[in-house]
Chain A
Amino acid sequence: MHVYIQAIVDAFVLLFSGSGEVWPVVGLSLAVSGTATLIATAIGLPIGYFLGMSRFAGRGSLILLVNTAMGWPPVVVGLFVYMALSRTGPLGGLALLFTPQAMVIAQVILAAPLVAGVTTAAIGSVPRDLRLQLRALGASRLQEAFEVLKESRRGVMAAVIAGFGGIISEVGAVSIVGGNIQGSTRVMTTAIVFNVNRGEFGLAMAWGMVLLGIALVANAALTMLQQSGARYER
């Protein structure tokens, strides 16, 4: 037990001593994963809406594709993005490898299917008759989409939170395309791996606690959202 207690004590000291080592890494983690979540939402939400709403041949295959993509292993996505951005890759000219932008790209690829998949389920659960009713009251396609999103907003928020939760905690992709460069591309998860390898459990535990804290906040937000919705539904 001693090793845990010591690590937790060290973590608290590091977090609240203002040593300047911990918080920039937390900030970059939030910036990279937050930006990636925003972009993934912009991509995944329309796809999820379309898949949830429409009925067409091949829809099942597309949903299967999205659901499979939800489980893409981060290291494999990292590998693909790395190859694309490497000097000999198709996007090598952009010189993005080992930058936060590269990490955002990899995380967008990981999060967009999560947002799309959960949105598809949420939109699909809105009764067809409700959409028919909206249309019958004169809603245009856009107005109908807006109202359907509003009605399924809890599921849509869950999709966004699932996307964020999926990438803030992944290490495989960001370590490959970011390279864990201190002061440049080091984020919480890559830092934990780095510090564990060096036997610095206190630092690793500090970031671990921040990560757990973020997970707690995200889940609390989700739970509050669900309960606030329930209040309006009796």
Chain B
Amino acid sequence: MSDSLAAVTAPAVCAEDVRVTYRGRTVVDVPSITLASGQTYALLGASGAGKSTLLRVLGLLERPTRGRVLFDGSTVRTGDLVARRRIAAVFQKPYLLRGTVADNVAYGLRLRGISPAERAGRVAASLQRVGLAGWELRSALTLSGGEAQRVALARALVLEPSFLLLDEPLSYMDPLLKRSLSVEFAEILAGERITALYVTHDQDEAAVVADRIGVMREGRIVAEGDPDTVLGLPADPWHASFVDMEPSLPGRVTASVDGLAEIAVDGVSVYATTGFATGSDVLLAVRPEDVTLWESGVQMPAGSARNRLACVVEETLPRGGSVRVVVRSGGARFAASISRASAAELGVAPGSHLVASFKATAVRVRLLGG
């Protein structure tokens, strides 16, 4: 797809007052959601949160019980074939049709009455961009899960959609493939400059692909913003546990010089790079990956981390290759994610006294109630 064309046609997608009810049970209740033109919006949430239903509504695949969908400000409906043909989708399961890879990739083009000659060229180009150049004549039903999902992506991209739906496209992949494909998807989406809606329950995947993230819970969008804020500064305790953090901490800016603020948080001082003025009431949080733990009294390398807080370990939780450690300093609780080796070396256990360090730049801050 040529960038100029995509930039012109990628719609801003918006939904107003959307409610979906199945047998009296409300599964989606979203007063407003806006997907900026050409950007990738990730809907993040646990299974059953209503993400896929909202995707089907925004993608004109399902009529909501109430509310409307707008492309560039104009209302569009499920029966509107012209609007629907600006959209393409990749779902959790690729659902390839019987036949060859080329038959599958060409399917949407055939529906649109594109000539065989043009189809062949576009199919070849599309397969190339998903890394399957020359796979036209293979049987679609003998592909591995990862290959099939790439074909499904090619089948969507070949249509040159201006709005692309991706519903958990990587959830059936093994972790290795998932990592590489999520990066590839992100590159392709960024390159295409199409408006995209990416539904996932995996925050790492969302962080890689999205320009903007909405967190869904029980049919509602409970947090929305840029990935850094949504994944780094939880709005409430549920949001915190969903993104694997401790709840954000309330504090007050006690000093602020040249973009560096000192914030009093429940008996401790935390330094953060923020422009909020002295006296501002703020909410702050630190991602567990940004927190390092040290033995108390050990000589730390100079100059690296501005925040060094004496703390007590409250909980430890092994997580695959790492250990999640919750520490308390004064009244403030943070989580740290450290390697198993470090945990063993430090003798981390509930009650042990350590020092937690993190950079001022790692602290996410926003105005309380802002």
A residues engaging B (CB < 8 A)?
127, 129-130, 132-133, 135-140, 143, 147, 151, 232-234
Contacts and interface: CB of A to CB of B under 8 A. Distances in A.
A138 to B, nearest CB: 4
Nearest to A140: B81
Nearest to B81: A140
Given A129-B95, A147-B97, A151-B97, A135 B84 contact: yes
B59 to A, nearest CB: 6
A143 B111 contact: yes
15 contacts: A129-B93, A129-B95, A135-B84, A136-B59, A136-B91, A137-B107, A137-B111, A138-B87, A138-B159, A139-B111, A140-B111, A143-B111, A147-B97, A151-B98, A232-B139
Contact of A234 (B61, B81, B141): B141
Nearest to B85: A138
A138 B111 contact: yes
A31 to B, nearest CB: 34
A149 to B, nearest CB: 13
B340 interface: no
A138 B88 contact: yes
Contact of B91 (A133, A151, A233): A133
B56 A132 contact: yes
Interface of B is mostly: mixed
B102 interface: no
Contacts of B156: 137
Interface residues of B, number: 26
Given A132-B56, A135-B84, A143-B111, A233 B141 contact: yes
A81 to B, nearest CB: 41
Interface in B85-120: 85, 87-89, 91-93, 95, 97-98, 107-108, 111-112
Contacts of A140: 81, 111
A108 to B, nearest CB: 32
A133 B88 contact: no
Given A138-B85, A232-B139, A232-B141, A133 B108 contact: no
